Structure formats: structure tokens, C-alpha cells
């Protein structure tokens, strides 16, 4: 087997293996690039409601009265009073925040965005541990893909022809951007 055939076989098979991870990382990349505009991990919704004011003072009584007035049968994981006029009831995917004197209620529900949440956690290496090894292996695979990719074709469409111009252009994009818009620290 000559070197180019081995190069092309490596490029082909590593490319196949990398498809899943590349899609996960690329889709997550698009999502987290725009986190200033949206929350890429969670769908957070707030709804306002109204119950009768709660006059009780101690946390246990306030909690019991709030549950009764909200018609909640399941006890919260925990309750917290950030100030004397507010109580928050915590459930797995919802937090009830009640203004005791007025009875105004804000229910904030949060649910992970399906698939995107998992992609983002893997992309940002939240699991750590073994995923670090997998992510490192993927990074090495990308390096191999980029290097072998340059030598797939020979002739005027290969690295000695138009390939050289396109590789050069690809390298220049980050270099020029850095010097034009970022600069040295």
C-alpha cells in the first residue's frame, strides 16, 4: 500500500468516525456562540399568577398556606425566604416565588433543551473524566483529518495547485482577524 492510499483510507475512515462528534460540536458551537441572545441550555418560562395574600409569619406555616392556596399537593424540595415578604418554593423543574403581602406569584419553569443541552455539556467538557480523553482523541482526529485532507488529491486540484491557495486562505482568516480586530493583549 503506497503512502497516498494509506493517507486516503485514514482520511475516509477517521472522517466516518468523526461525523457524529463533528455534528455535535458544530451544532453546539452555533448555539453557544450566541448565548448573549438566548440561553442555549435551558428553555426558561415565567408565568404570573395571583393568590390570596398570606399573612402567616413563620416559614412552615407560610409554606403550608402557600401550598394550599396554590392547590399544590406535592411538597416542594425546599422553601426559602430571601426577605420577610417573599417565599420561594422549589420543585424539580419549577420555582414558585410568592410576594406574601400581595399574593402575586411568579412561576419560573426551566427545562433542558432536548439534544442541545447534551451537545453543549459534551462540547464544554462538563462531564470531565473519561470524556476528556474522548474529546482529546477527537481533537487529534481533527488534526489528522486536516493533514490527510491536504493530500487526498494530487495534481492541479491537490496541495500543489488550488489546494495551496485554499489552505493559505483558510490560515489567513484567523491570522488577519486577530491582527485586525483583536490585537496583542
Partner 1 sequence: MARFLSEDWTPMNRALAIALTLSLALVASVEADTKKYGTPLTLKDTTKVSAIFAAPATFDGKRVRLEGSIVGVCEERGCWIALSSDQEFQSIRFKVDDGVIVFPLSIKGRTAVIEGVVSVQEVSVKAQIEAGEHEAREHGTTFDASKVKGPRTVIMVKGEGAEVF
Per CB under 8 A, residues contacting partner 1 are 1, 6, 9-10, 13, 35, 39, 41-42, 44, 46, 59, 76-78, 80-84, 88, 90-93, 95, 110, 112, 121, 124-131, 134
Bridge-partner residues for 151, per DSSP? none
Give the nearest distance from C-beta 178 to partner 1 in angstroms.
Answer: 22
Closest CB 140 distance from partner 1, rounded Å: 15
Least distance in Å: CB of 170 to partner 1?
Answer: 27
Q: Which is nearer to partner 1, 126 or 160 (CB)?
A: 126
Do residues 32 and 40 touch, judged by C-beta distance below 8 A?
A: yes
Q: Which is nearer to partner 1, 1 or 182 (CB)?
A: 1
Residue (93 or 162) nearer to partner 1, CB? 93
CB of 185 to partner 1, least distance (A): 18
Least spacing, CB of residue 42 vs partner 1, in Å: 6
Q: Toward partner 1, which CB reaches closer, 133 or 169? A: 133
Q: State residue 105 phi and psi, 5-degree precision.
A: -120, 135
User: The cell 399568577 sits on which residue?
Assistant: 49
Strand runs labelled E in 84-121: 86-90, 94-99, 104-112
> What does the alpha-carbon distance between residue 51 and residue 30 come to, in Å, rounded to a whole number?
42
164 conformational bin, left if phi > 0, alpha if psi -120 to 50, beta if neither: alpha
- Residue-wise burial string across 72-102, b where 16 or more C-beta atoms lie within 10 A, e elsewhere: eeeebeebeeeeeeebbbeeeebbbbbbbee
Give yes or no for a contact between 99 and 82, defined as CB atoms under 8 angstroms apart: no
Amino acid at each position: 500500500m503506497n503512502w497516498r492510499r494509506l493517507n486516503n483510507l485514514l482520511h475516509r475512515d477517521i472522517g466516518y468516525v468523526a461525523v457524529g462528534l463533528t455534528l455535535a460540536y458544530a451544532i453546539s458551537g452555533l448555539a453557544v456562540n450566541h448565548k448573549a441572545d438566548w440561553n442555549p441550555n435551558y428553555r426558561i418560562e415565567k408565568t404570573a399568577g395571583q393568590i390570596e395574600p398570606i399573612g402567616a409569619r413563620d416559614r412552615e406555616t407560610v409554606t403550608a398556606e402557600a401550598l394550599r392556596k396554590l392547590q399544590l399537593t406535592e411538597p416542594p424540595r425546599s422553601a426559602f425566604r430571601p426577605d420577610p415578604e417573599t417565599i420561594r418554593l422549589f420543585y424539580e423543574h419549577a420555582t414558585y416565588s410568592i410576594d406574601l403581602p400581595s399574593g402575586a406569584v411568579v412561576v419560573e419553569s426551566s427545562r433542558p433543551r432536548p439534544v442541545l443541552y447534551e451537545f453543549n455539556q459534551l462540547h464544554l467538557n462538563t462531564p470531565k473524566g473519561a470524556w476528556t480523553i474522548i474529546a482529546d482523541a477527537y481533537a487529534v482526529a481533527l488534526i489528522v483529518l486536516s493533514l490527510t485532507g491536504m493530500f487526498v488529491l494530487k495534481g492541479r486540484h491537490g496541495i500543489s495547485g488550488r489546494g495551496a491557495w485554499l489552505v493559505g486562505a483558510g490560515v489567513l482568516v484567523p491570522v488577519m482577524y486577530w491582527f485586525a480586530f483583536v490585537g496583542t493583549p
